[in-house]
């Protein structure tokens, strides 16, 4: 019995997808890891992870100017929950969008291919 091409695609792209969620540097490394050969599963999760990391760093920079302890706590909590959601998607071999922002990440980061 031959393996399903979808299962094969997931297996080949899983390492790159995991690296993407590690840090923003990991997401940039994953972009280059997926440059050749291109993998749909890795591309999907690299876009999700890159968007999450970029969102977190952007809001952290913005909130550092107007320091508010509760806002920073909310930012870290939101980031952590969304990061766990995306990372569990990789581990579960699913292409699940991050709630609320996932469709935008897929649309905005089309340069990640």
Q: Give residue 111's pLDDT.
A: 87
Is residue 36 domain-resident? yes
Whether residue 113 lies inside any domain: the answer is: no
Q: What string of pLDDT tens digits covers the 113 residues of the chain?
A: 334 448 888 888 899 999 999 999 999 999 999 888 889 999 999 999 999 999 999 988 888 787 778 888 888 999 999 999 999 999 999 999 999 888 999 999 888 87
47 token code pair? 């876009």
Domain membership of residue 45 as a residue range: 5-108
Question: Exposure string (b/e) for 1-38, b if CB count within 10 Å is 16 or more?
Answer: eeeeeeeeebeebbebbbbbbeeeebbbbbbebbeeee
Q: How many domains does the chain have?
A: 1
pTM of the model: 0.85
**Residue 11, pLDDT score:** 85
CB 14 within 8 A of CB 93: yes
Residue 14 resides in a domain: yes
Identify the pLDDT of residue 87.
Answer: 95
- Cα within 13 Å of Cα(38), Cβ side: 6
> Can you give the pLDDT at residue 71?
83
Q: What is the pLDDT of residue 77?
A: 94
Q: Coil, strand or helix: which one is 51?
A: helix
Q: Are 90 and 14 in contact (CB under 8 A)?
A: yes
Cα 50 from chain centroid?
5
pLDDT at 26: 93
Paired tokens of 66: 């107007």
Can you give the pLDDT at residue 2? 38
Q: Quote the crossing angle between the two packed helices 5-22 and 69-91, to the nearest 10°.
A: 150
């Amino acid at each position: 019995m031959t393996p399903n091409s979808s299962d094969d695609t997931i297996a080949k792209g899983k390492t790159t997808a995991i690296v993407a969620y590690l840090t923003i540097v990991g997401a940039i490394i994953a972009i280059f890891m997926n440059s050749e050969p291109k993998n749909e599963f890795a591309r999907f999760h690299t876009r999700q992870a890159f968007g999450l990391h970029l969102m977190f760093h952007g809001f952290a920079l913005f909130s550092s100017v107007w320091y508010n302890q509760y806002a920073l706590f909310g930012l870290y909590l939101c980031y952590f929950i969304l990061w766990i959601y995306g990372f569990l998607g990789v581990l579960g071999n699913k292409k699940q969008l991050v709630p609320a922002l996932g469709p935008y990440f897929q649309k905005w980061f089309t340069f990640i291919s």
